[in-house]
Amino acid sequence: MKKKIIWITLISCFLLGGIVFTNGLYNEVSATIETIHEPEIRKVSELRETKVEIVKKEPFSLLLLGVDEREADVGRSDTIIVLTVNPSTSSMKMLSIPRDTYTEIIGKNKIDKINHAYAFGGIEMALHSVENLLNIPIDYVVKVNMESFLEIVDTVGGVTVENTSAFEVSDYTFNEGSIHLNGEQALDYVRMRMDDPQGDFGRQARQKQVLQAVLKEGASINSLLNYKELLSIVERDIRTNMTFDQMVDIQKGYKNALNQVDTLSFQQGEGKRIDGIWYYVMDDTELSQITLEMKKHLELK
């Protein structure tokens, strides 16, 4: 059986492309994707002259928003990851943006933490604010309710990660070294930051670990056996402006991009209090360097 490719941001949705090809479940999967598709989200970035054509295997970017949504609370996007994918170089770059980043909230006319953009204006405002910060076009966006994250991990049979520093959180002890996590444990593992010597940067590193582990586990045959449960989770907790046909085209044409995943992060900025509130303030030089690297990967001028 051919290896199934799951994109890091549509952990489950890209697995669905594999289900279609393997089991012929086109109608069931396409109906689910139609439910989660948000067609009103902007189609073409103002930073592009023409829309990206996935069918032509052009490089594209994708924004992942991990949102803590609860009853009567729209939540904030505490996980913000930008991917650039280039099939011609068979590579993907993955950038985590600190949730406390001090930046302009587009459409709100104010400077605030970037994770507040989603609370103020949903997916659209978050997308525009991230695009403005990085000065690169954001072609697609995926919003995932982080409460469903644990269910996705359980659906693929749990994940194994390499923990670099032992710690305790909630009722769990996470020992140093290779550890296997179920969904609830994985959620606690990626959320902890207070006892991490690297603070939010350590938290971002653990998020990447678990997401990449889900990619690996999701490629297994056993994961495909749970496709009905996966469809239910996707329909309830994921929203995107990507169409089903685009997902299928990525499944077919961008598989090899997972052969090389380069992780980028902001390290030169500093945390500071402004009017009594804690923010992460970017280093302008580092921000410019990352922008150039991502533009080059997207083959932009």
What is the pLDDT at residue 12?
47
pLDDT tier for residue 8 given thresholds of 50, 70 and 90? very low
Query: In this structure, what are the phi and psi dihedrals at residue 154, rounded to the nearest 5 degrees?
Result: -65, -35
pLDDT in tens, 135-193: 999 999 988 887 777 777 887 788 889 988 888 887 889 899 999 999 888 888 887 76
Averaged pLDDT for residues 4-17: 42
Two tokens, residue 77: 């996007």
Segment holding 64, helix H or strand E? strand 60-67
Note the pLDDT of residue 299.
Answer: 95
Confirm whether pTM is higher than 0.75. yes
User: Where is average pLDDT lowest: 54-68, 140-154, 197-211, 272-286?
Assistant: 197-211
Q: What is the pLDDT at residue 286?
A: 97
Assess contact for 174 and 159: CB atoms under 8 A.
no
Contact assessment for residue 63 and residue 80, using Cβ atoms and an 8 Å cutoff? yes
Identify whether the C-beta of residue 128 lies closer than 8 Å to the C-beta of residue 106: yes
pLDDT at position 1 over 70: no
Burial pattern 23-52, b for ≥16 Cβ within 10 A else e, equals eebeeebbebbeebbeeebeeebebeeeeb
Q: pLDDT per residue over 246-277, tens digit each?
A: 877 877 778 777 667 788 989 899 999 999 99
Q: What is the mean pLDDT of residues 69-75?
A: 65
Q: What is the mean pLDDT of residues 40-60?
A: 88
The model's pLDDT over 284-293, given as tens digits with 9 standing for 90+, comes to: 999 999 999 9
Q: For the chain, which domains are there?
A: 13-297 (3.40.630.190)
Mean pLDDT of 72-94: 84
Identify the H or E element spanning 84.
strand 77-86
Q: Are 59 and 83 in contact (CB under 8 A)?
A: no
Say whether pLDDT at 84 is over 90. yes
CA distance 252 to 18: 9
- 140 and 63 in contact (C-beta within 8 Å)? yes
